Chains A and B, each alone.
Chain A
């Protein structure tokens, strides 16, 4: 074993890396696992889960690194009086601590990837998604360790963790610099969106720039080397440029997907990862489409759309949203979304008109009629044959849409009028 290898081995034993790696890995898995909500294994959401894991791992890693920094200060009588650079010991410690943190990070990433692969996966694994969390973790390790070196006091590790925890955990997900500085919180990414690569790259660059600046600044201070000032300034400039890139940036962007369709008896199209939803959505949407035929809300195609596209019917196409866990009742919920989209612009003026609308809704959905304050109307409507109801709706669709139904509206069927 080389001289350096022996020194590293001793440093690794002292830094208790054999404890730090599993501690960080277990903490990361516990923190990231809840972000993997049941449903489709969407790779972008796995990246979000990894970033959520980083938000807990990073403060813990910073505290552990600060503890190592405080402890190592006691060996300065060996480290500093050296023919080598006095920064050698600190750099070797940082190397070991960073490798330990990244090993734990890799274990968490592998666990999350395995879980994603065990489900119906969507999207594609993006190596870029690994970088922001890894870079943020290393930044926390470096900042924590150097704080421990500069302020070698017993409370320093706790103080470091106490500062890093709220920074990582209390900033809300969103847009803008404050929310996107690593380790950033992300909302769940829906199937028709993807993480914006430029934001991930800027976050990585920001962390790496600050990490390099901290290491170079500390080395320049210890070595009293002015030659390091130029790369230090370059690292700070890179970090500042990344921060400018993050200001006002949106963390996700639309990701159009080629839908997969079933064409009979109705054209129903969903995201390929949710092809299992086709039978239920078709079964729920087909009778609804038949009952709305001849009205302004008639549709011949049902499409799963992204959250940003409102549910409802436009130009013969009904847009629905599907939860990617496809929990029981997802077909009926899709039909309800279509109906809700039809009438969403016209709230009911009274509870009574709302009851009449609910009566029609129950027929459209094929569910039991609700209890009405006007049971006679309910009985009358319930007694009509299917064709009569459809003809009635074609004649009174505007009243239904605007929640202007009343007892009189139900007194005359279209056949009576004829």
Chain B
């Protein structure tokens, strides 16, 4: 059964927005590892990710995350305590320091200030903790976002185009992005990231899917999942992203 092994189980899940299907009703299972979801701008990656983050309700179908039904309040609260979500252009207050930002997130995640300090340490932000976010370079600001998102050590992390701000062609962007990949991979047992180009995700994701015209499919030339085979389809589409649901090593230390 998908529910036995999958962190995210969707049954007949359909997401519709603006009069068109972003995801046609499908069955879907996401297990462990790092999965990439690629698609051109406007195909609905962000909306789909927000749906997995429980910030949007699906148009149709049922969505079960970490064994809890998103359709009831008790399940929703249990899920939200165990997932982290970082939008592509995540908001922050300019006058907040990185440390304040992570501590602020810790309050809402129900964590003590010690957890915030630990998250800053894991993200190698101890030295930058007292600097205002507005004064930090993009890759360090992203680290702060990741630390805030994962201050409660979630089981699932959903990142919307995390490296997009490091793709502006500035000197050092490539190096910074490469430094961030190990950190992202270690955030949680299940990491789901989005990106525009399948090839860019394919380099560092265990498996990459593309979203085109409301349908999910394996990206051409995608790597074979290292953690087992996809589960067989149950209805129109069933996908298993990566293998055993085991907690990954957290926040491999990386330099800023």
Contact = CB atoms under 8 A, between A and B. Distances in A.
Interface of A: 3-4, 6-7, 10, 13-14, 74-86, 88-89, 223-225
A203 to B, nearest CB: 35
Interface stretch (B10-18, B97-105, B180-188, B220-228): B97-105
Contact of B73 (A7, A76, A224): A224
Contact of A10 (B81, B91, B96, B149): B96
Contacts, number: 71
Among all A-B residue pairs, the 7 with the closest Cβ atoms: A74-B91, A83-B81, A83-B110, A224-B73, A7-B107, A82-B108, A14-B93
A89 B105 CA distance: 11
Interface in B67-110: 72-73, 76-77, 80-81, 83-87, 90-91, 93, 95-96, 100, 103-110
Contacts of A3: 106-107, 112-113
A89 B80 CA distance: 14
A81 B87 contact: no
Contact of B80 (A7, A74, A86): A86
Which bucket holds chain B's interface residue count?
Answer: 20 to 34
B85 A77 contact: yes
Contact of A80 (B55, B95, B107, B152): B55
B148 interface: yes
Contacts of B53: 77, 81
Interface of B: 53-55, 72-73, 76-77, 80-81, 83-87, 90-91, 93, 95-96, 100, 103-110, 112-113, 148-149, 152
* Chain A facing B: main interface SS: helix
Contacts of B110: 82-84
A289 to B, nearest CB: 75
Given A10-B100, A13-B93, A13-B95, A79 B108 contact: yes
A82 B148 contact: no
B107 A76 contact: no
Given A3-B107, A4-B107, A77 B100 contact: no
Nearest to A3: B107
Contacts of B54: 80-81
A190 to B, nearest CB: 52
A156 B130 CA distance: 35
Contacts of A81: 53-55, 80, 83-85, 108-109
Among A4, A79, A86, residue most surrounded by chain B Cβ atoms (within 10 Å): A86
A86 B78 CA distance: 12
Contact of A6 (B77, B103, B148, B149): B103
A86 B77 CA distance: 8
Given A3-B112, A6-B107, A89-B108, A83 B77 contact: yes
